Amino acid sequence: MRQIIYALGLSLLCSQAQAHGPTPQKAKESVMIQAPVAKVWEAVKNFDDIGNWHPDLKAAEGDGKNQSGGTRKLTFQNGESIVEELDYYNDAEHEYSYRLKTENVKALPTSSHTVDLKVAHGDSADSSVVTLKSRFYRGDTGNTPPDNLNDAAAVEAMTRFFKDGLNGLKAKLEK
């Protein structure tokens, strides 16, 4: 009897170990731009202006508010869109944070995300470092997500989105 109870307990423990929800994922990318902080900040400080430098976007439109609660709608090249909302904005420190307000896994395979953007001094007075970092969950938060909505897909998509955006910003400011 003792062995049966032990076997049932072990079986229950193993099945619970396999049934788990999503874990938070992270992405972080930086780029050195040969331009002073003031010039770089001028290009990125308006939350709605990401469409001016991010090549993955067809359009970006927002409410013009660079403060907590400001929103923007991003339309990707494939025509799909998401809505993001500012949580924190600090002009003096050249940084802001925002989060996904309206998800669309066809645009970006995340069910939620938060992003921090920071512009800092580079290794000279005429250079800057722009950093994007994010915490997010995969597009399908169930226990067995399809490949296009799993953790790896979310990390790859967010990393690519950051790299493409930072490279677009660098190209625009260094021309």
Q: DSSP for 56-105? A: TEEEEEE----STT-EEEEEETTS-EEEEEEEEEETTTTEEEEEEEE--T
46: in domain: yes
For residue 6, tell me if it sits in a domain.
Answer: no
Average pLDDT over all residues of the chain = 92
pLDDT tens by residue, 25-70: 999 999 999 999 999 999 999 999 999 999 999 999 999 999 999 9
22: confidence class by pLDDT, cuts 50, 70, 90: confident
Number of domain units in the chain: 1
Q: What pLDDT sits at residue 4?
A: 53
Would you state the pLDDT for residue 82? 98
Is residue 160 pLDDT above 80, yes or no? yes
Q: What does residue 137 show for φ and ψ, rounded to 5 degrees?
A: -120, 150
Confidence at residue 95, expressed as pLDDT on a 0 to 100 scale: 98
42 is in which domain, residue-wise? 22-173
**Residue 113, domain CATH:** 3.30.530.20
> pTM higher than 0.75 for the full model?
yes
> Treating both helix axes as pointing N-terminal to C-terminal, what angle do 37-44 and 151-173 enclose, rounded to 10 degrees?
120
Torsional sign, CA 130, 54, 99, 146: negative
Q: Does 7 fall in a domain? A: no
Residue 116 pLDDT > 50: yes
Confidence of residue 3 (pLDDT cuts 50, 70, 90): low
